[in-house]
Amino acid sequence: MVSSPIAPRTRRRPEERRAEIIAEAASIALGEGLERITVRAVAERLGVRPGLITHYFPAVEDLVIAAFVQAIAHEREELIPAEGDPMQRMAQLVSRAEGPESRELSRLWLNARHLSRFRPALAEALEEQEAIDRDRLVELIEAAIVAGDVTEGVDPLAACIRILIAVDGVGAYANDPGAFEHDAYGHFVADVAEWALGLRAGALRRGG
């Protein structure tokens, strides 16, 4: 009957607790932004005292970086599928990048890109994630060439870079409240991808 206001102290294995903290921080990063990852905020969400967060991450910046990497790595699976028909994967990548599903992710990238201005360590982590995306997309394009969907004359890395810049360009507007609608905007990634890969116009547009 006496529901004690003080929660019983639960002790966990360090790795487990650490993972839990990072996961919670990643959730904050995606939903509220990296600068909202605060010792107190993470602690409160976990029903834990702030000092515990400091215990695992003496410097908050390290937690922020870990959270960013975790969130990006997790979302990557859906953005750049690892298996399946090359052109289908490419179409899904384009569709995801242009659709509303990627809004949170774009916001996070924007967030991290800006914050990198002040935090060299975050900038470094960000570049690593960029490199992973690049490698993955290059592989995908090479697979498309092997499959005969893309002409041999296409330089995979050049096309990859163009597509990723297009994704970031569209993502730059992730925080714009106004619903600016125009085909040139709504299909930019598809159009650039078709152009970069030498595909016929409309090949990558939804349902194309």
Partner DNA sequence: CACGTTATTGGTCATGCGACCAATACCTTA
Partner DNA sequence: TAAGGTATTGGTCGCATGACCAATAACGTG
- Site of interaction with a copy of itself (CB under 8 A): 33, 107, 109-111, 113-118, 120, 123-124, 126-127, 130, 155, 157-159, 161-162, 165-178, 182-185, 188, 191-192, 195
Q: What angle do CA 202, 100, 23 make, to 5 degrees?
A: 130
Rounded Cα–Cα distance for residues 92 and 29 (Å): 25
CA 162 to chain centre: 18
The 36-55 site mask, x for binding DNA (CB under 7 A), equals: xxxxxx------xxxxx-xx
What's the DSSP call for residue 202?
T
Residue from 99, 90, 96 nearest 199 by CA: 90
Q: Record the tokens describing residue 70, joined without a space.
A: 């975790």
Q: Record the tokens describing residue 111, joined without a space.
A: 């967030």
Residue from 99, 31, 98 nearest 67 by CA: 31
- The piece of 56-64, 70-78, 96-104, 183-191 that touches DNA (CB under 7 A) is 56-64
11 sits near DNA (criterion: CB under 7 A): yes
CB of 49 or CB of 113, closer to DNA: 49
Rounded Cα–Cα distance for residues 174 and 190 (Å): 17
Instruction: Fill in the amino acid letter for 70.
Output: Q
CB of 46 or CB of 203, closer to DNA: 46
Contact of residue 177 among a copy of itself, DNA, none (CB under 5-8 Å per partner type): a copy of itself
3 sits near DNA (criterion: CB under 7 A): no
CB of 46 or CB of 154, closer to DNA: 46
Task: Work out how close the CB of 104 gets to a copy of itself at its nearest, in angstroms, rounded to a whole number.
Answer: 11
Work out the number of other CB atoms within 10 angstroms of the CB of residue 22: 20
Task: Work out how close the CB of 37 gets to DNA at its nearest, in angstroms, rounded to a whole number.
Answer: 7
Contact of residue 144 among a copy of itself, DNA, none (CB under 5-8 Å per partner type): none
Instruction: Fill in the amino acid letter for 156.
Output: P
Site residues for DNA per CB under 7 A: 6-12, 14, 17, 36-41, 48-52, 54-55, 58-61
